[in-house]
Copies of this chain bind each other. A is one copy, B any other.
Amino acid sequence: MEKFKGLDEEKQQKILDAALMEFAEHGYEKASTNRIVKEAGIGKGMLFYYFGSKKDLYEFLAEYSLDFVVEKYFSRINMTETDFIERLKHTSQVKFEAQRENKNVFNFLGTFMLTADFKLAPHIQEKYEAMQKTGNAMIYEDVDLSLFRDDVDVQKAFKLIRWSIEGYQNEILHKLQGQSMVSIDFDPYWEEFYEYLEILKKSFYKKGERNR
């Protein structure tokens, strides 16, 4: 592993990107080290020289990705906003920026989370669980419940709002799939997103309390 860290940034990133993409697309078992080295532009031997084995590589990527998310996403969230929907708007923006910085990490963690098929090294498992816990707190902690209508169960309202936001994000993702990220002007999507958020406020918040 120290071998790998001695490489220049650029080469490291190229290898990481290739590996993250491969695992994101195929999961652990069906990912191919052959495709990784071809995509990364290195000889087969080097991958094992750097990382030892496929599994070691996978764990390295998991830890790398978890650290990335904490540093570039979680740590940038402003927890002083107590308006639930405003907070979700804020987290969406920060997440988007982090995603733009390294798309592969998020794709990798996506399939990492839903194919939790094998046992990770304990310290990585712990990091993973800590991340889930932090992610949850980030969304629900110190939320001003008094903004919500009195005639609906707030816990259920939370969920409905989150599902709505996930639904919108999935729709956009699906609509833009295959386009090259940099070529897209996201502003209209953000505007549309804000319109949905306004509707959610109208629907789930008390009448008078819609400040701004």
- Using a CB–CB cutoff of 8 Å, the interface residues on chain A facing chain B are 30, 149, 151-153, 156-157, 159-160, 162-164, 166-168, 171, 195-196, 199-200, 202-204
Chain B hits for A30, CB < 8 A: 30
Query: What is the CB-to-nearest-CB distance from A147 to chain B, in angstroms, rounded to a whole number?
Result: 14
Query: In the complex, A73→B198 CA distance in Å?
Result: 35
Q: Are A202 and B160 touching (Cβ within 8 A)?
A: no
Q: Are A196 and B151 touching (Cβ within 8 A)?
A: no
- Listed by A's residue number, 11 A-B pairs whose Cβ atoms lie within 8 Å are A153-B195, A156-B195, A159-B167, A159-B168, A159-B196, A160-B200, A163-B164, A163-B167, A164-B164, A164-B167, A167-B167
Nearest neighbor of A196 in chain B, beta-carbon distance: B156
Known: A30-B30, A166-B167. A160 touches B196 (CB 8 A): yes
Sorted nearest first, the 5 A-B pairs with minimum C-beta distance are A163-B167, A203-B203, A160-B164, A152-B199, A163-B164
Query: In the complex, A156→B200 CA distance in Å?
Result: 10
Query: What is the CB-to-nearest-CB distance from A187 to chain B, in angstroms, rounded to a whole number?
Result: 18
